[in-house]
Chains A and B, each alone.
Chain A
Amino acid sequence: MKEGRDHQLAATAQQRGAIYGLLSRCYGGEVDGGLLERLKDKGFSQAISAAGFPFDREELHGPIESVLEELAVDYAWLFLGPGVHISPHESVQRPDAEEDGRQFWGTVTGQVKQDIENSGFVYDNAFSGIPDHIGVELEFMHHLCMAEAEAWQNLDPAKARESVCHQKRFLEEHLLIWVPSFCEKVVRRAQMSFYRFIAHLTRDFIFSDHKMIGSCDGRQTQAA
């Protein structure tokens, strides 16, 4: 009975991790051909529709090269600059940053990096971005979810609960503080429906997820 419940919890954690993984990938770089094909998959489209997110699927169904270029231009416009340039970094976007932290590569950047590294991860040498990029923070959540899933599968509830607590803390100390307002800017400024959808999904998902993981004792609150 308990084993069955743990497997269910593992599956939930995996699903959550997958969503974080998807979001991380979408912010972490431009959509490539492989990702585009998977995004166009019927199952994915249906899931998006079922969740009620506004998303013009047709946008992805033009000639591949041209769709990829349009997505790349919007990505550059939004997240890289020159363009509207909504900096995808916590230190820039965080509204409550301390005096000396209100800047690109601010003190919070170091805190995020430290938090991630203290959790047993290192940034890949090939990574050329800034440590508090939204793609990194979402990927970190993905890894924490996967670690939780693995712990449930290994029937190690203490470790799983530890991971849940870490997720909750990271959400509350970082993502929830800056990502919702960041996403609202993206929704307002994105030229392609795809990035509006991703921003909508990000904002809504992190709120829902925070609610879902509830308290740190591992008993997850069921979403409404």
Chain B
Amino acid sequence: MIKINRRNFFKLGAAAAAVATTGAGVLKAAEVKEGGKDFSPETGAERKAIPTACWSCVTRDAMVGFVEDGRLVKLEGHPESIRGRGKICSKGQAGVNQLYDPDRVLYPMRRVGARGEGKWKRVSWDEALTELADRLKKLKDEGHPEKFMFHYGRMKGSSSKIIKSVFLENYGTGTVGNHTSICEGGKWVAQELTWGKHYDNWDFENTHYVLNFGSNVLEAHTNSIPCGQRLVDAMVDRGVKMVTFDVRLSNTATRSTEWVPIKPGTDGAVVLAMCREIMAADLYDPEFLPFVKATAAADATVEEKVAALKRHLDGYTPKWAEKISGVPAEKIKAIALEFARNKPACVISYRGAVAHYNGVETERAVQMLAAITGNIDNPGGRCKAVAAHWKYPKGPKNKPKKKKLPILDGFKGDIAYPNHHANHQVLKMIKDGQAGRPEVYMWYCYTPVYANGDVQENIDILKDEKLLPFTVSANAYYDESAALADLILPNPSYLEWWDWEDMVSPTQVAEYYIRQPLVKPLGECRDLKDVVCDLAERMGFPLGFKSAEEFVKMSCEMTPGVREAGGFEYMKKHGVWHDPKATPAFYTYKKEVKPEKLKKDGVILDEATGVYWNWKKAHAESETAARETGYTKTKNAYKGYVGQLIDGKVYKGFKPDKVNKSGFLELYSTLLEMKQFNPLPTYFPVPEHEKMGTDDLILTTYKVAVHIHSRSGNCKWLSEIYHENPAMINSRTAARLGIKTGDKIKLKSPSGEIVTKVQVVEGLVPGVVAISHHCGHWQYGRYASGKQSPQNGGGDERDSRLMWWDSHGVHPNWIISNRPDPIGGQQCWMDTVVNVTKA
């Protein structure tokens, strides 16, 4: 060590005084203030309990954060929430790690070297937003707002309204991508084609029987904690039986009364066979069938519908399904009859059944199973989702007519009804270039590199400045995609921002709740909702509110019920509100439309479908044009839907959304018929599965209870529990391939190859290899990848030195191609065929 002696000390001191005498300029003399405070009896620290909401997964449970001395110490479920009933999951509790991730991005960062090189410098918010606003304004002024593409992963509640409905709408771009097609898009499209709305709720509180096709409801459901706990109650307290069809013995399957192993992508065959047996045994519900469309005619009788369904289903015998699925025919029949006889019963389904090439048809078949047994929108059945309807400020009145690049819905002709886009195709389309390319590509709560298949291709495209001239990531963390941005805007964690929320309630009674900051945003993080207010001001179209907080406050004062309860102040104090007088919303389709509504200006009857619709509301050209073109073929006619004529009465029916279906629950889909698909639910095999080689296996993926799909590897509590995801293979398959537990194998597909370890198991269908999501990060900080951001920094946070594991697993998306199903555009996560050899 160099010694500082008296002589050079004085020299240094004098020189230092000349250079900078006051330091960083952070501290100043305090002013004394008074105020009541609460202190923790254990630590003596000042303590506050603040109601807020989770954002780890889409469930978004209401919760309470405990803050001591300005530091969040614990998160718990909100005891007054009717959805969560005081419970949150491990991911929710580990939100503390999201807030205090030592690798968080705290300042706006601008790329300095080549894109992806990892050289950055801090810029001020003013510099960052000046550059971004200049680029965006130029595009808008040139008449090309569509060349600004905004791509989000999770953006719900007020976040969606502020950013998408107000800011982006007023800017004028429609080139707005989401992530639904890599999540559950196929399920949503199937539900839109059948009963109109995209989301279902499962009433476990009142059900007598649960039939599950590919939902990991107890571990990773989209409404996990609210639903999961009610399912457990039903099974434990009332002895409700649950039968789970799954490729893998998931934790949901282990807790089920029975696990029925099934080959990947064949659930649809089993469901159709069940429908056949139920119809053949005349166990259908004649009271529900009037509300079902089962033939081309809108005025078909129940008898005609029954005959049509029996005719259609006749070939789908249990024996036929057994050959396809591997499920014994007798079991299919027995479970079908048991399901039909135990009313009310609830058939549930998710990605295990739906994320396939034939997934939309499988989900339509599941809807058929629920519909023929009358287990639709009834207590104990499969119900249309009920959620909060917030009122909110809509921003400036005169919005520009938005423009969009046709790059959201996949390549022309690939997808019949891309209602929720095909966002896994976006980068491919940008590479292709024929439909145009964005000049500014910005993403938020989304990681295009990691979350999609074809990872290497994603990297290559994002890196290419010729394809994407300017990239912006709004992110709290330095993930695999942020590493390829030109500008990183530091978003806070969700524990530092405002929102109102509206996730579905399992009780069929809407819950209104808010998210409020538990602590001040760390560093210079700014909520993107606040940032877009700023950007809009800079570009000359102020939104009418200055911040997310103001927006939430205005919404609380505008929303009936919340307003009367005390508005914003009430919500800040209590966090949640529901109408104590509200009754659960069941059988809403049975409500009759008041005659005066049918007499309103613009309302006409479409004879072909029996739909009453308002051609003016649907923005049809004229009444004559509307009548000539008809409801089904008039663009966006569904927006004018009023009611459905059934046996001489007009019912609210199953209101359409996104597509021009009728108000029936449509098992017979004219819309699909128009696109050359079978109008009734059918089964077709996954093409790749028909031409497999000897060493080929089907790759299936899944989620575990303690991780979010892509965004929780940075949580040390969670990564300590789960950080390694060996490839699981059934013992019979392993023996055939000469593989044992611990062996390294190479999995190869047309997209690439990965090497990983094997775990030989019994709880998996032979011929399948199962690899979970969540792992294999190469960025995202020390706990996700073993690296700091992005280089190894040698220690730092003490917990990182206590990491007892040095394996971070493997990411399966390197070998899964980005491929849409032909009806809804769902990414076919579960269809990849891989060649497996010892590494």
* B12 at the binding interface (Cβ < 8 Å): yes
* B71 at the binding interface (Cβ < 8 Å): yes
Task: Please choose the segment from B292-300, B361-369, B558-566, B785-793 that sits at the chain A interface, where 4 or more of its residues have CB less than 8 A away.
Answer: B785-793
Within 8 A of B (CB), among A177-224: 185, 188-189, 200-201, 203-205, 207-208, 212, 222-224
* A61 at the binding interface (Cβ < 8 Å): no
* B287 at the binding interface (Cβ < 8 Å): no
Q: Are B29 and A122 in contact (CB under 8 A)?
A: yes
Residues from chain B with a CB closer than 8 A to the CB of A188 are 794
Minimum C-beta distance from A62 to chain B (A): 16
Residues from chain A with a CB closer than 8 A to the CB of B14 are 15, 18, 43, 47
Q: Which of A48, A130, A139 is within 8 Å of B23, CB to CB?
A: A139
* A117 at the binding interface (Cβ < 8 Å): yes
Residues from chain A with a CB closer than 8 A to the CB of B397 are none
Q: Which of B4, B17, B29, B790 is within 8 Å of A51, CB to CB?
A: B4
Task: Please choose the segment from B106-114, B228-236, B549-557, B732-740 that sits at the chain A interface, where 4 or more of its residues have CB less than 8 A away.
Answer: B106-114
Q: Are A122 and B27 in contact (CB under 8 A)?
A: yes
Within 8 A of A (CB), among B1-28: 1-28
* A10 at the binding interface (Cβ < 8 Å): no
Q: Which of A24, A124, A223 is within 8 Å of B9, CB to CB?
A: A223
* B524 at the binding interface (Cβ < 8 Å): yes
Q: Are B27 and A143 in contact (CB under 8 A)?
A: yes
Residues from chain A with a CB closer than 8 A to the CB of B601 are none
Within 8 A of B (CB), among A102-142: 102-107, 109-110, 113-114, 116-117, 120-124, 127-130, 135-136, 138-140, 142
Chain A contact residue count (CB 8 A cutoff): 93
Residue of B nearest to A97 (CB): B798
Q: Are A41 and B28 in contact (CB under 8 A)?
A: no
* A153 at the binding interface (Cβ < 8 Å): no
Q: Please report whether the interface of chain A is mostly helix, strand, loop or mixed according to DSSP.
A: helix
Residues from chain B with a CB closer than 8 A to the CB of A1 are none
Residues from chain B with a CB closer than 8 A to the CB of A128 are 106, 523-524
Q: Are A136 and B3 in contact (CB under 8 A)?
A: no
Residue of B nearest to A142 (CB): B23
Residue of A nearest to B106 (CB): A80
Task: Please choose the segment from B119-127, B167-175, B430-438, B587-595 that sits at the chain A interface, where 4 or more of its residues have CB less than 8 A away.
Answer: B119-127
Q: Are B121 and A82 in contact (CB under 8 A)?
A: no
Q: Please report whether the interface of chain B is mostly helix, strand, loop or mixed according to DSSP.
A: loop
Residue interface bits A16-52, CB-to-B below 8 A is 1, else 0: 1111111111111110000100110101101110111
Q: Are B24 and A200 in contact (CB under 8 A)?
A: no
Question: With A47-B8, A72-B122, A80-B106 as given contacts, are A135 and B26 in contact (CB-CB < 8 Å)?
Answer: yes
Minimum C-beta distance from B584 to chain A (A): 43
Residues from chain A with a CB closer than 8 A to the CB of B112 are 69, 73
Residues from chain A with a CB closer than 8 A to the CB of B20 are 18, 21-22, 24-26, 35, 38
Q: Are A51 and B11 in contact (CB under 8 A)?
A: yes
Minimum C-beta distance from B713 to chain A (A): 16
Q: Are B523 and A24 in contact (CB under 8 A)?
A: no
Within 8 A of A (CB), among B781-813: 788-799, 802
Cα A35 to Cα B69 in complex, Å, equals 35
Cα A217 to Cα B71 in complex, Å, equals 36
Task: Please choose the segment from A84-92, A156-164, A165-173 that sits at the chain B interface, where 4 or more of its residues have CB less than 8 A away.
Answer: A84-92
Could you name 22 residue pairs across A and B whose Cβ atoms are closer than 8 Å?
Answer: A18-B17, A18-B21, A19-B13, A22-B21, A28-B25, A41-B18, A53-B2, A75-B121, A76-B120, A84-B792, A92-B102, A93-B796, A94-B798, A95-B798, A109-B71, A113-B70, A121-B30, A122-B28, A135-B26, A142-B22, A203-B1, A222-B6
Counting from the closest, the 7 A-B pairs by CB-CB distance are A15-B13, A28-B24, A24-B23, A139-B23, A18-B17, A102-B798, A47-B15
Residues on B facing A (Cβ under 8 Å): 1-31, 45, 68-71, 73, 99-107, 109, 112, 118-122, 478, 482-483, 488, 522-524, 788-799, 802
